[in-house]
Amino acid sequence: MYDSLHALLSFTGWTLLLGLGVILFRVSQVLAGKKKSNEFPAWIQHGSDFYWRLNRAHLNCLENLPVFAVLVFAGAILDPDQAIFDLLAWIVFAARILQTCAHLSGGGVWPVNVRFTGFFLQYVSFGSMLLLLLKSLP
């Protein structure tokens, strides 16, 4: 149980780190007088390509964090096969790092393929964790 909680906390820390990058970019733009605080519209690209990829990578983490959290917290209650469950949790985190790094590296074919691989690994792991949880239901 504790290994999967550590993986969840690592995922959360990674999400916060990416969010901090977004915050620092925006604050620096406002303080430098390059943008006003209301010139960062949601869903419309603003800033450099790298900043926009950072912004999207952060949002991707936020989209998946609740799913991961529910699975890990359910694992703490239902006590599935812990060794496999914990391994899957760490695979989720590692795949998230892979996906983020690929996302930040650019939009070429290889980065997109690597990014999708990270995404796919996360969802296979999520599904496997869910199956372990369903098997452990009373």
pLDDT tens digits, residue range 87-135?
A: 999 999 999 999 999 999 998 999 999 999 999 999 999 999 999 999 9
- The CATH code of domain 3-136 reads 1.20.120.550
Cα first-last separation, the chain: 18
Token pair 């969010």 is at which residue?
Answer: 19
Residue spans of the domains in the chain: they are: 3-136
Token pair 């390509």 is at which residue?
Answer: 49
Alpha-carbon dihedral 44, 47, 49, 50, rounded to 10 degrees: -120
Average pLDDT on 49-68 reads 95
Token pair 């996302």 is at which residue?
Answer: 103
Global pTM reads 0.92
**Burial class of residue 95 in the structure, from the number of CB atoms within 10 Å of its CB (0-12 exposed, 13-18 middle, 19+ buried):** buried
- Nearby residues of 29 by Cβ (< 8 Å), 6 or more positions away: 35, 47
